[in-house]
Each structure stands twice: as C-alpha cells, then as structure tokens.
C-alpha cells in the first residue's frame, strides 16, 4: 500500500503528437503487459514523424525552466497583440459540417 504499481501517460496532445504513450512499472509487470498486449503493440505502430516530434518535445522539456519562463513572460502580450489585429489565429467561431460533401 502507498506505492504506485503502474504509471501510464500519453504522448498525445500534451506533447503535440496526437498519438502514442508509455507505461512504467516494475520489470515483471512491464514484461507481463508486453506479452498480453502483443496483438496491439504491432498493429498500432507510431509514424516515424510522431516519434521524432515526441523526442524533440521531451528534449525541450529537459532544457529546464528557461522556455517555460519565456512562455509565461510572453503570455500577457498575446491578448494585447490580438486586440491590435497583429495576431491572426483563424475564425473566432468553429465551422460545423453535416451531411455529405458531395
């Protein structure tokens, strides 16, 4: 009790890859998961570009607080710049589609 046996996480939206994930646990647990999940491991492979992007993002996270500090320092200027029309992020209202395109 009081100890986490399995840790899982996503490499999806948080890291910009939109797919992938990881599981961390004791060696025996990971080996058991590999054996039981074998059909899924090889049928849902990641695209090489997603793997490369995820590795790059993790490298950026490892750089430390510098990038995060810059982000927080720049964040207040975003609404001001947007109010002046200097930032264009697309339409304000999402488009909704229904039915066939043809």
- At 32 the pLDDT is 93
Neighbours of 17 (CB within 10 A): 22
- The residues that bridge with 24 in the sheet, in sequence order, are 7
DSSP assignment string, 79-95: HHHHHTT----S-SS--
Instruction: Sketch the domain layout of the chain as residue ranges.
Output: 6-83
The HSE-up count of residue 48 (CA atoms within 13 Å, CB side) is 0
> In the prediction, which pLDDT does 102 show?
47
Higher pLDDT, 57 or 32: 32
pLDDT in tens, 12-54: 776 666 677 788 999 999 999 988 988 777 777 778 887 888 7
What distance in Å separates the CA atoms of residue 66 and residue 58, rounded to the nearest whole number?
Answer: 14
pLDDT confidence of residue 58:
82
Query: pLDDT value at position 54?
Result: 78
In DSSP terms, 25 is beta-bridged to: 6
């Amino acid at each position: 009790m009081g100890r986490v046996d399995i840790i899982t996480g996503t490499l999806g939206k948080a890291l910009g890859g939109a797919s992938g994930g990881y599981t961390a646990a004791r060696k025996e647990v990971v080996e058991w998961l590999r054996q039981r999940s074998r059909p899924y491991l090889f049928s849902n492979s990641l695209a090489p570009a997603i793997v490369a992007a995820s590795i790059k993002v993790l490298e950026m996270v490892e750089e430390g607080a510098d990038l995060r500090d810059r982000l927080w320092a720049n964040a207040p200027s975003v609404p001001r710049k947007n109010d002046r029309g200097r930032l264009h992020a697309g339409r304000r209202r999402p488009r909704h589609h229904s039915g066939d395109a043809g």
